[in-house]
Structure 1
């Protein structure tokens, strides 16, 4: 089999296609969660910070170069900063995504268990005595 035929078989297998769809949906879902955090949750947090963006919360590590009102201004000036606001916002993004993935996996597990419960069971397992009787019957038939 040629290299390209093998690659084609690999690329169109169900698992690879499922993975590709999952990556695309995951990327889109990440954008939705980021928008939720940036546009819904953090503005409410900003109210408690007197209208300042939480993402812009920082501490100057080198105060000798002056005082800066925003994180962007400090970074453009090349001053070392500890940008804890952006870090905490990314943690919130992660927690929301992890929680949603947990709920999705839990839902999929529930569906899988229902399919297993509905699946018809095979014939019942024979007891040792039934197996012996079957062997005796088959031996008598073959005489």
Structure 2
């Protein structure tokens, strides 16, 4: 039992497991923010444009309820809201990735410029030494 607990502790304390846990927590919080953006800001504008009181209640009735039986309806409003949620999340992730890639690119350019400012690389120095040795032999 001690070995099992030790193995579990080692597994749980690995860096990538902790990173994943942090990612899940931040992702959950991010999901709440995006859902609030969609539900509280974007959807009211869409419902104003469509004239629907509650966008999620939009439906197409296929069969009316008869004598207490349930009717059948396609609830396309909720489906459309989920599509809008997805598109906004995808857009936000796309923009964030573009920003991260741009920052990474800028950092790499700075690193290259910093290396150039420091002088020749080890490889360049070795090539120069090799060429000087060739000249001295001839």
TM-score normalised by structure 2 residue count: 0.70
Structure 2: any 5+ residue segments left out of the alignment? Answer: 116-120
Match of 1:96 among 81, 88, 91: 88
Aligned residues: 124
Deviation at 1:51, TM superposition (A): 4.7
Contact 1:42 1:53 in 2 (8 A): no
Whether 1:106 aligns to 2:98 is yes
- Distance 1:36-1:11 versus aligned 2 partners, 3 A rule: same
Alignment RMSD (CA, Å): 3.0
Alignment-derived partner of residue 54 in structure 2? 53
Structure 1 match to 2:130: 130
Question: 2:73 corresponds to which residue?
Answer: 81
Residues 61, 80 of structure 1: 8 Å contact kept: yes
Aligned to 1:19: 20
Give me the whole-angstrom Cα distance separating, in 1, the residues matched to 2:52 and 2:63.
Answer: 26
- Mapping 1:111-122, distance limit 5 Å: 111-119=103-111
Select the structure that is richer in helix.
Answer: 2
**Bigger RCO (CA 8 Å, 6+ sep):** 1
TM-score by length of 1: 0.68
- Identify unmatched segments of 5+ residues in structure 1: 67-76, 138-143
